[in-house]
Copies of this chain bind each other. A is one copy, B any other.
Amino acid sequence: MAVTIRDVARASGVHISTVSRTFSAPHLVNPETRSRVLATAEQLGYRPNRAARALITGRTHNIGLIVADIANPFFPPLIKAAETHARRRDYHVFVADTDEDPIVEADLVQALAKQVDGILLCSPRMSDDQIEQLRREVPLVVINRMITGLPAVVMDVGHGARQAVRHLLDLGHQHLVYLGGPRGSWTNREIRRAAGATARAAGAELTVLGPHQPVEEAGAAAAEAVLATGATAVLAYNDLMAIGLLQALQDRDVAVPGQVSVVGIDDIAYSGLVRPKLTTVANPTAAAGRAAVDMLLQQGDDGATGQVTLRTDLIIRNSTGPGPYTPAAATTHEVAATVKE
């Protein structure tokens, strides 16, 4: 049914190897022959069968992209950027969703392994050991997690978290809450560490809550716990949780930022749509997707396993305001923040 290399060969009166070379090594075939072959190929609508090609070359020209939750607004921009970037380099992308389940994650990597030239693992929930194990079966690039010896693209959330905490301290807040994310998340640990250190250095208190699922509902559900701490400012693991918290506080007639300030992380598309607009740390997810594709595709060439770190920046909107004491020393710390709007 489908038109193969053999049909083209027959129609243009050459051997199949010549047809093959016309596509995969054009310089080895007489220009005249080549154009004749190309013409008949075009006319017959021939398209090389990538699976067959992969079988012999070992290169599939496919990559896998595994994320925890496609519907989490953090991921789509990354997926889109990675796919577009990969396609520009003539690669197709398998996308798979683990539903935050490390077992599914490992299964998926193995199932995809034979069909791809490499896999992008976004915010994996597996253990380091497991990932290193899998790495022996298929080239891997990890996004948003640092594992020694493994190529990775990470967003420097620590930097953003420090900016966020300094911003809150500058506003006069003395007691902060970190609304933690999911267990096993590298990002979560980074934020906690950076926020904790920054707060401690300024003599402020930081209460850590969690772990939580990184979803709106969890943020909302944590409202009571947050209020119970007596803190006046909250840094959330991500915008989804921050938005959930925002809603729950609103429902309890707690003014934001009047009584409590809230900062999210990610700058998902809708963090600017809620009211008050959310102060948040912008992650360059699209750039991360592209960088990860590049790393994966270069990995074959040299064995280099670099780690790329991308900057994150605080975006100050309307969900943060002066703390209870509004000290005169409000500008003690320098706020190295990008201000939008």
Q: Note all chain B residues with C-beta closer than 8 A to A250.
A: 275
Q: Mark A68-98, 1 if CB is under 8 A from B, else 0.
A: 0111010111011001100100001111110
Contact A94 B94 (CB under 8 A): yes
Closest B residue to A53 by beta carbon equals B51
Query: Contacts A71-B76, A83-B97, A97-B80 known; A51 to B92 CB distance under 8 Å?
Result: no
Interface residues on chain A, number (Cβ under 8 Å) = 47
In the bound assembly, the distance between CA atoms of A243 and B49 in angstroms comes to 45
Contact B93 A94 (CB under 8 A): yes
Contact A83 B111 (CB under 8 A): no
Contact B95 A79 (CB under 8 A): yes
Contact A114 B80 (CB under 8 A): no
In the bound assembly, the distance between CA atoms of A77 and B76 in angstroms comes to 10
Q: Note all chain B residues with C-beta closer than 8 A to A270.
A: 73, 270, 273-274
Q: Mark A275-298, 1 if CB is under 8 A from B, else 0.
A: 100000000000000000000000
Asked if A141 lies at the interface with its beta carbon under 8 angstroms from chain B, I say no
Asked if A22 lies at the interface with its beta carbon under 8 angstroms from chain B, I say no
Q: Mark A45-58, 1 if CB is under 8 A from B, else 0.
A: 10111111011000
Asked if A113 lies at the interface with its beta carbon under 8 angstroms from chain B, I say yes
Closest B residue to A87 by beta carbon equals B96
> Could you write out 6 A-B pairs with CB less than 8 Å apart?
A51-B51, A51-B54, A73-B270, A75-B76, A87-B96, A95-B95
User: Which 4 A-B pairs rank lowest in CB-CB distance, beginning with the nearest?
Assistant: A70-B80, A95-B95, A51-B51, A270-B270
